[in-house]
Structure 1
Amino acid sequence: MDSRPTEVQRRRILQMTGISTAGIVGFSERTLAQEEEDTNVTIEVPDQVSDGESVVIESFETDVDGVFQIFQDTDERPVYKAMEIEAGTESTNWEVELDDPIPESQSVRTSLYPIGGGQSYDTVSAEVRISETVDGANPFGPPYGTEPGVQKIEADPDAGFHSPYFLYTPDIRSIEESVNDSRERPLVVTASPWGEFEERVEGARRPDGGTTGRIANAMNCPVVSVPLTLTEGFLGLEPHELTLAHEIEITDPRRERVDRQFIAMIEDAQSRLNEGIFTIADQVHYDGGSAAADFIERVAPLHPEYINALSAGANGYSFLPVEEVTDDLPVHGDPERTTVPFPIGAGNLEELTGEAFNKEAWMDIEQFRWIGGEDQDPDDPDNYTYKRFRGDHREISQAIEEIFGTLQVDERFETSREMYDHLDVPATFRTFEGQPHSPDWEYRVEAVEFHKEQIEEDFELVHVALQEFASEAHVGDTVTVSVVATNRTDVGSSTTISLAVDGTEVEATEVQVDPNSRETVELETTFEETGEFILSVNGTTIEDPVVVDDEESTETDTQDAPTDADSEEDNSTMDQDEATADEQPGFGVVQALAAVGGVGYLIKRRLSNNN
């Protein structure tokens, strides 16, 4: 691997003694172009495994303007990337998107040239490997089975849903198979339940915007947006209420058991997405405010096993996972009845559905609940626009007022917080002071951060890919296995990487990877006997075994410090390698003679300057 940082300066001309004439020409042209000023250009590129769409530059720094290029290290030199770079540019772990993909494993050279043409300020070569490394691996492929962007999925009654839905797939580059379990992501879901059918469809068509879009793009998660509404019925008020009452006749199939249609849409989206390298988790993340929050408030108790986390806002009261009001429950008032009816509690849920409430699954849902601090009207609370159950159904309305109070924020939201604390519900409550029913975006992003944190906690975000290792060794040799840990999300995350020999773990290390960056990790093991040994990283077997013979290694871990002569030889060799790699194709006798003359001129001029 040639990943040494190199510094090219005019004063290094005297170090060129003894290199090839091709190297002399390359260096002398560059030096003459830079004669009036010193330049400091550093490029460091590691050997790496790539999908062919990008190359990682470990470090880059320049104090001059230049043309940055990545190209194949051959005489033909097909260019994969070309762009102008400004003086003062510094970067580490820079993932460069290529203009043209690298078609196969090869040596790739990265250089910075003068904008007006000439030899490079600095150049470095690295091996970019695009190959199958793990048994049965499909090295690269699309993350999901759907094309990036938003697509409308039409209604499919045979699949269980009578309305269309919208599916957003974030634009993620093809990824490599990972040797750890980093290829699972949750589906993010939201609903647009307000208005008539056409209005709901229009409201659902942008799953790539708002909160869900930010979660998707930050965490590489797809989004489903459903135009489902809750049915008007014995629960009163608006057409947002989920009714399971048998006496309510529903003639529109789009309103029939929308909770089941909701689940059918999720399962349909999962089957479409799972055709890529990523797989979709069984449980979803849900986000919604106002009517969309009201929607999940009713669906979650019916199907809690489908939900991993939810954020819901702009509603005062919260569903209670209890059937009865007990004396120790910190309710707001003095309820006349002890049963807590659905949808505010689980009291009659089994009677309505025929199935018992799955409290254990519901209690596993992580929740973020928010409300605007001004989302109430203390002067006229009974007629406040966004107050649910204003009296359309007296039994439910009375139960809410007795248990939660009347004011949306000061009573209902705060009482919900107290009762959730008492019941040990895993929920965070946030009041956005001074904010109305629809808070400003700077407050709503807290829901985004909530989902990002939960996804980072519950899912492996760091891809771990094998980079290189020696398949042959001698007794006493230390074999190093290099892996690359890549994090393509907007949050920092850590992972544990382990190396095992014949199933026995010999080394393990934890690595922290910053957002949208990667780290190279080296794992080592020493072989004390001959034979064939199977290596595995994080439990994934490496295809080629390590063959160890009985010839002892003559190398030692420590080396004598280099002498001055060694240093001079190394410097000369380094300069020769750099210049030779950057020579122009078709170098001949005439150019060689010119090169010799050029060096004589430069040395003479340098001596004159020194005098």
Structure 2
Amino acid sequence: MRFLYTLFLLVPIWDVFSQTDDSNFVQKDSLLYISQQPSKGFFNDYILFIPKDTPLNKKIVLLVEPNNTGKTSDTIEVHKRSAEDLATKSSVGNNIATLLKIPLLVPVFPRPTAEALMYTHALDRDVILEQTPIYKRLDLQLLAMIKDAKKILEMNKIVVDEKVFMNGFSASGTFVNRFSFIHPEIIKALAIGGFNGELMLPLNTMNATILNYPIGISDFHNLFSKPFNVKSYRTIQQFVYMGKLDENDAVQFDDAYSKSEQKIINQNIGATVYQRFLKCQDIYKSQSLHPIFKSYEDVGHWTTSEMNLEIAKFFFKILHSKITSQ
């Protein structure tokens, strides 16, 4: 969806939303670029898109979609431009935000060529273990961005629920899936697709093989200083989809998974994308986890207008149900 937009940099917040005192809605599409604020817990910038006709003084839900540049670069401007495109025109997330009239947050996380095996945009194991401030615990940085964005919105009469919607496709879908395991209490609903067929599993072992993050939860407490909260995880409404022709298989590449992780996945979950998708469904159901799983005929590693509409309807139904904090 293409439209003209304005990028606001360090302008008075009350000028951004172009609203009059007697208006019940935001008057035009607005884009905020918020610079990193280490004192608030985030060492990277983020983008906040507020679509025209977003309601004021009415509880809605903030949508979050992690950025996915699709390549490495040591130039942050490359990732910034990609995130701006995602926020304004080239993502399922922008489509959802525009149709549902809800704000969209997109982080501007780097994905460095100098550290090519650290797949930041998929929240892989390497980045979870990283200690450099800009990369350290991107999940916590995203939480801090969400907290900051809520304050900005609420200062301007845009009231959002305590929990968020999350959306992602390809690497960002993998990011959302893993993030949902770490912080299930913050998510009301999520939709993900194009994620190589391999979901994070709520298992410590499989076929006598230990499943560490990001495959399973065996070392979850050691990494995150808390147990996996399966009770909170079960409250997340999920739409998980895959094109039957999707052969975009990051599992076979070292930047996404280590050699040992690749072996575990290929031998225990499946050697192809669609095999894994089916196996993961069985595993989730066996653990009393019941996302909506959907396969699309004649679709590869992309989304169609039909898929985009179905995802939007999924969030629309939840948005317009009674919004209560669980």
State if a TM-score over 0.5 links the two structures.
Answer: yes
1:370 to 2:241 alignment: yes
Q: Using the alignment, how far apart are the partners of 1:173 and 1:250 within structure 2? A: 38
Match of 2:188 in 1: 308
Q: Using the alignment, how far apart are the partners of 1:399 and 1:233 within structure 2? A: 27
Deviation (angstroms), 1:232? 9.6
Aligned CA distance change for structure 1 residues 241 and 452 (closer, same or farther; 3 Å)? closer
Give matches, 1:437-476, under 5 Å.
437-459=301-323
Higher relative contact order (CA 8 A, sep 6+): 2
Give matches, 1:182-197, under 5 Å.
183-194=58-69, 195-196=72-73, 197=76
Which one-letter code corresponds to 1:305 in the other structure? E
Deviation track 1:200-226 (CA, whole Å, cap 9, x = no partner) reads 211111424332233223333111111
Q: Using the alignment, how far apart are the partners of 1:277 and 1:396 within structure 2? A: 47
* Contact in 2 for aligned 1:234/1:245 (Cα 8 Å): no
Match of 1:273 in 2: 153
Aligned CA distance change for structure 1 residues 230 and 413 (closer, same or farther; 3 Å)? farther
Which one-letter code corresponds to 1:375 in the other structure? D
Deviation (angstroms), 1:344? 1.6
1:158 to 2:39 alignment: yes
1:430 to 2:309 alignment: no
**Helix, strand or coil at the partner of 1:368:** strand
Aligned CA distance change for structure 1 residues 149 and 257 (closer, same or farther; 3 Å)? same
**Helix, strand or coil at the partner of 1:279:** coil
Give matches, 1:109-188, under 5 Å.
140=22, 148-172=29-53, 183-188=58-63
* Contact in 2 for aligned 1:232/1:243 (Cα 8 Å): no
Q: Using the alignment, how far apart are the partners of 1:324 and 1:226 within structure 2? A: 33
Q: Could you say which structure has the higher strand fraction? A: 1
Which one-letter code corresponds to 2:321 in the other structure? E
Deviation track 1:427-463 (CA, whole Å, cap 9, x = no partner) reads 1111111111113333333222211122122439xxx
Moved more, 306-315 or 239-248: 239-248
Match of 1:299 in 2: 179
Q: Using the alignment, how far apart are the partners of 2:130 and 2:216 within structure 1? A: 24
Match of 1:388 in 2: 251
1:260 to 2:140 alignment: yes
Deviation (angstroms), 1:286? 0.8
Deviation (angstroms), 1:287? 0.9
**Helix, strand or coil at the partner of 2:155:** coil
| Structure 2 alignment gaps of length 5 or more | 1-19
Which one-letter code corresponds to 1:313 in the other structure? G
**Helix, strand or coil at the partner of 2:251:** coil
Deviation track 1:208-261 (CA, whole Å, cap 9, x = no partner) reads 43322332233331111112257899995745453567995544x321111111
Q: Using the alignment, how far apart are the partners of 1:218 and 1:263 within structure 2? A: 25
Q: Using the alignment, how far apart are the partners of 2:271 and 2:96 within structure 1? A: 34
Q: Could you say which structure has the higher helix fraction? A: 2
Q: Using the alignment, how far apart are the partners of 2:199 and 2:219 within structure 1? A: 17
Which one-letter code corresponds to 2:67 in the other structure? S
Aligned CA distance change for structure 1 residues 152 and 448 (closer, same or farther; 3 Å)? same
- Determine what percentage of the aligned residue pairs are the same residue: 22
**Helix, strand or coil at the partner of 1:451:** helix
Deviation (angstroms), 1:322? 2.7
Q: Using the alignment, how far apart are the partners of 1:161 and 1:246 within structure 2? A: 15
**TM-score normalised to structure 1 length:** 0.44
**Helix, strand or coil at the partner of 1:424:** coil
Aligned CA distance change for structure 1 residues 443 and 246 (closer, same or farther; 3 Å)? closer
Deviation track 1:546-603 (CA, whole Å, cap 9, x = no partner) reads xxxxxxxxxxxxxxxxxxxxxxxxxxxxxxxxxxxxxxxxxxxxxxxxxxxxxxxxxx
**Helix, strand or coil at the partner of 2:64:** strand
**Helix, strand or coil at the partner of 2:134:** helix
* Contact in 1 for aligned 2:168/2:193 (Cα 8 Å): yes
Q: Using the alignment, how far apart are the partners of 1:363 and 1:268 within structure 2? A: 27
User: Max radius of gyration: which structure?
Assistant: 1
Aligned CA distance change for structure 1 residues 162 and 223 (closer, same or farther; 3 Å)? same
Q: Using the alignment, how far apart are the partners of 2:128 and 2:310 within structure 1? A: 42
Moved more, 427-436 or 212-221: 212-221
**Helix, strand or coil at the partner of 1:388:** helix
* Contact in 2 for aligned 1:375/1:408 (Cα 8 Å): yes
Deviation (angstroms), 1:347? 1.3
Aligned CA distance change for structure 1 residues 232 and 403 (closer, same or farther; 3 Å)? farther
Match of 2:5 in 1: none
Which one-letter code corresponds to 1:213 in the other structure? N
Q: Using the alignment, how far apart are the partners of 2:66 and 2:174 within structure 1? A: 10
**RMSD of aligned Cα (Å):** 3.1
**TM-score normalised to structure 2 length:** 0.80
Which one-letter code corresponds to 1:400 in the other structure? I
* Contact in 2 for aligned 1:231/1:241 (Cα 8 Å): no
* Contact in 2 for aligned 1:285/1:309 (Cα 8 Å): yes
* Contact in 1 for aligned 2:59/2:158 (Cα 8 Å): yes
Q: Using the alignment, how far apart are the partners of 2:227 and 2:141 within structure 1? A: 20
Match of 2:168 in 1: 288
* Contact in 2 for aligned 1:143/1:278 (Cα 8 Å): no
* Contact in 2 for aligned 1:167/1:222 (Cα 8 Å): yes
Q: Using the alignment, how far apart are the partners of 2:32 and 2:158 within structure 1? A: 19
Match of 1:407 in 2: 272
Deviation track 1:114-154 (CA, whole Å, cap 9, x = no partner) reads xxxxxxxxxxxxxxxxxxxxxxxxx955557x984112111
Deviation (angstroms), 1:314? 0.7
Give matches, 1:22-41, under 5 Å.
none
Q: Using the alignment, how far apart are the partners of 2:166 and 2:128 within structure 1? A: 31
Q: 1:354 aligns with which of 206, 225, 236?
A: 225
Which one-letter code corresponds to 2:34 in the other structure? I
Deviation track 1:9-57 (CA, whole Å, cap 9, x = no partner) reads xxxxxxxxxxxxxxxxxxxxxxxxxxxxxxxxxxxxxxxxxxxxxxxxx
Moved more, 146-155 or 266-275: 146-155
Deviation (angstroms), 1:414? 0.8
